[in-house]
Amino acid sequence: MSSPLLLKGFEVELYTGRADGTVVGCSAEAAAALEGFVTEPDHRNLEYITPPDASYTRQLQLLLEPRQRLRHWLASRQLTLLPGSTLSLGDSHRFERSDPNNLYHGYIETTYGTKVVTASVHINLGLSSAPEQMDSLFAGLRLMRCEAALLLALSASSPFLDGAATGAHSQRWLQFPLTPADVPLFVDHQHYIRWMGQQLELGTMQNVRHLWTSVRPNGDNRPHDLNRLEIRICDLVTDPLVLLAITAYAELRLQQLLRDPKRNDPLQTSRLSPAKLAKLADANDRAAARSSLEATLHHWRDGAPVTARHWLREHLAELTPLADELGLSAVLAPLQNVLDNGNQAMRWLAGLEAGLSIEELLSREIQAMADQETALQEATGLLDATGTVGGPSPLG
């Protein structure tokens, strides 16, 4: 008997700009004109959110439809959607407010500057909100926190900043101000509630949303009412099929955990203390930001060194029977190509080494994004920006 798939949803941040990769901000105007889009503090990027749905085919449609509406609106202004998670062609020295009258945006600009002007994708995975199931949610948080580096390794797409290579694969994660600086591995819900209260009292967090870490609990009334975990570490993944594959991989790891918590909950099976696990996870995240799939990480079970690519290959082999059982093999398949040929950052850096300019690399990817969207819209039956019809799915 198959386990039900988890509810899932995405928060997608995108840059807007010209076809040559130049960033041009217009988020306030776009959000005012288009339903479902919201501004970020800097107007050079904006965000849309997909509603929760367990179906990967449906989530593909939900990811594409807003992008199509936004792309159509941008085209009338000679603008388009840009790849990457940092200001690849600048200017990171200047903050461009989307709402000069927003006090919280003022706090963000003053405190962090353009370190936060990045684009990413947050993956929300639903787990039961019933009190007796809360242990499963926090076990899932611990597992994802300890393996977040693997998700960054798959998604890294920010090797450039201000027209130059930074030396990192995810400049976004290296520059983004993790807040608070030290976040523990939460033992249970009460630990999280107490810790959140302490941070708000100390002022290290401005509000319950001001927890900027690789993975966090989420819900309508934090810290008390929680129903999902939010994976925040991933760079922007412009290929929807790769994004869904990364999501399926995370979901399969959570499904393994739900079936066998003693083997998959770091709190129960690691040789390391919770404090050491938190430090190991953060160190792994930084290593993945620098070298992504080529990074040497340390396994949460015993601290042993392992490359990100090897760790992922081991997991995918182990997950094959469960993926078959849950009907996720086709959704998961694009990860093999990422492991064989590199993530977005690695492919861009290879192109740079081969003599292409950053402008050429971005321009090619901008066109590839548009072409892929057209192909996927045809495959999923998305006829236009107004709705959907039935059709074959590229997810199998």
Task: Tell me the pLDDT tens digit for each residue of 143-163.
Answer: 999 999 999 999 999 999 999
39-69 in b/e form (b: 16+ CB < 10 A) is: bbbbbbbbbbbbebbeebbbbbbbbbbbbbb
CB 232 within 8 A of CB 212: yes
Question: What pLDDT shows up at residue 387?
Answer: 35
Residues of the chain scoring pLDDT < 50: 1, 383-391
Q: Where are the alpha helices (DSSP H) in the chain?
A: 27-33, 56-75, 103-112, 134-155, 171-175, 189-202, 240-259, 261-264, 266-269, 274-291, 308-325, 329-332, 334-341, 344-353, 358-380
Beta bridge partners of 49: 11
CB neighbours (10 Å) of residue 340? 8
CA gap 66, 123 in Å, rounded: 17
What are the angstrom distances between the C-alpha of 264 and each of 96, 128, 304? 44, 18, 16
Residue 126: in which H helix or E strand, if any? Answer: strand 121-126
Question: What pLDDT shows up at residue 2?
Answer: 52
Question: What pLDDT shows up at residue 380?
Answer: 76
Question: What pLDDT shows up at residue 378?
Answer: 85
Of the candidates 144, 120, 125, 121, which has an alpha carbon nearest to the alpha carbon of residue 9? 125
How big, in percent rounded to 5, are the helix, strand and coil portions of the chain? 50, 15, 35
CA gap 93, 316 in Å, rounded: 41
CA gap 333, 139 in Å, rounded: 27
Q: Where are the alpha helices (DSSP H) in 156-188?
A: 171-175
Question: What pLDDT shows up at residue 1?
Answer: 40
What are the angstrom distances between the C-alpha of 227 and each of 184, 218, 219? 20, 6, 5
How large a percentage of the chain has pLDDT more than 70? Answer: 95
- Helix (DSSP H) and strand (DSSP E) numbers for the chain: 15, 11
Question: What pLDDT shows up at residue 391?
Answer: 45
